[in-house]
Chains A and B, each alone.
Chain A
Amino acid sequence: AQKVTQAQTEISVVEKEDVTLDCVYETRDTTYYLFWYKQPPSGELVFLIRRNSFDEQNEISGRYSWNFQKSTSSFNFTITASQVVDSAVYFCALSGYNQGGKLIFGQGTELSVKP
């Protein structure tokens, strides 16, 4: 069975702090994709990143970075120098290669960045 666990339900930081959101996954597939999505208060889901299981290189995009560790089945997301606009619920998700694009979501982490 496939499963995504985001153990942190809520995180609160002060602006300019760095924050890491944890994601641990379970799958028997050898080929799979991992995702992060952002859900601001308005409700839409905003795509942040997709990673396939063969690419363990860390990725950086501006203040965002992702650390994929296959050995620990983790795909953590770090926001550097957080801003109030980063306040949202962040979802980690998993899709098996043969799952036709169906996503299994974690429970989400609600990030609150205070000025």
Chain B
Amino acid sequence: SAVISQKPSRDICQRGTSLTIQCQVDSQVTMMFWYRQQPGQSLTLIATANQGSEATYESGFVIDKFPISRPNLTFSTLTVSNMSPEDSSIYLCSAKAGDTEAFFGQGTRLTVV
């Protein structure tokens, strides 16, 4: 399976600021996704990152708050904008190639103070 690298692995940010998380896959993939895992909770899909076009957001998530880019088949970024303490979560990048299982990065632990 491919390897996903996420940066940063963790960060502590001030409220009102923005953080961009990078996701790099070591091989080309067809689909890339961003999930959020709030403390002690399950994973919730934020959006599907589409290569060369706007991301597809799930209900409850909007582009202004979580802008996503995917310039090529191996890289994507998620920005958490105008952060508040409620945004403190683990953000996970996921990818899959063809008819395979989805694999995940190690996640970015974000704390907003």
Q: Residues of A at under 8 Å CB distance from B?
A: 35, 37, 42-45, 47, 50, 91, 95, 100-108
Contact = CB atoms under 8 A, between A and B. Distances in A.
Contacts of A106: 42
Interface stretch (B14-22, B61-69, B71-79, B105-113): B105-113
Contact of B42 (A44, A101, A102, A108): A108
Which 10 A-B pairs give the minimum distances between C-beta atoms? A45-B104, A44-B106, A50-B101, A101-B31, A105-B43, A105-B42, A101-B96, A43-B107, A107-B42, A47-B101
Q: Which label, helix, strand, loop or mixed, suits the secondary structure of the B interface?
A: strand
Nearest to A4: B42
Interface residues of B, number: 22
Q: Which label, helix, strand, loop or mixed, suits the secondary structure of the A interface?
A: loop
Given A42-B106, A44-B106, A101 B33 contact: yes
B102 interface: yes
B88 interface: no
A102 B35 CA distance: 10
